[in-house]
Amino acid sequence: MIQRKLDRLNALGGEMGYKSTLDVYIKDGKYSEEQINIFKQKAADYIKDNNLSVDVNVEKVK
């Protein structure tokens, strides 16, 4: 599911030469730091492997 969102953001920004950012908000305490870091790494790997012009920003919210 996240891959589809990243692909869509890349398509939107790529047409105009912009780099898009996917903001992900996670409820504080719902996931461990390790789980969040694994998610970030998997997203970064997908972006790199598919040569996408997208960033992922993960923030915890209360």
Query: Would residue 11 be called left, alpha or beta, if left means φ above 0 and alpha means ψ between -120 and 50 degrees?
Result: alpha
In the chain, domain spans:
2-61
- Are residues 2 and 9 in contact, defined by beta-carbon separation less than 8 angstroms? no
Residues 6+ positions from 32 with CB-CB distance below 8 Å: none
Cα gap 41→39, rounded to integer Å: 5
State the Cα–Cα distance between residues 35 and 51, nearest whole angstrom: 24
Read off the pTM.
0.81
Rounded distance between C-alpha atoms, residue 26 and residue 49, angstroms: 25
pLDDT tens digits for the chain (62 residues)?
789 999 998 888 766 778 889 999 999 999 999 999 999 999 999 999 999 999 999 999 99
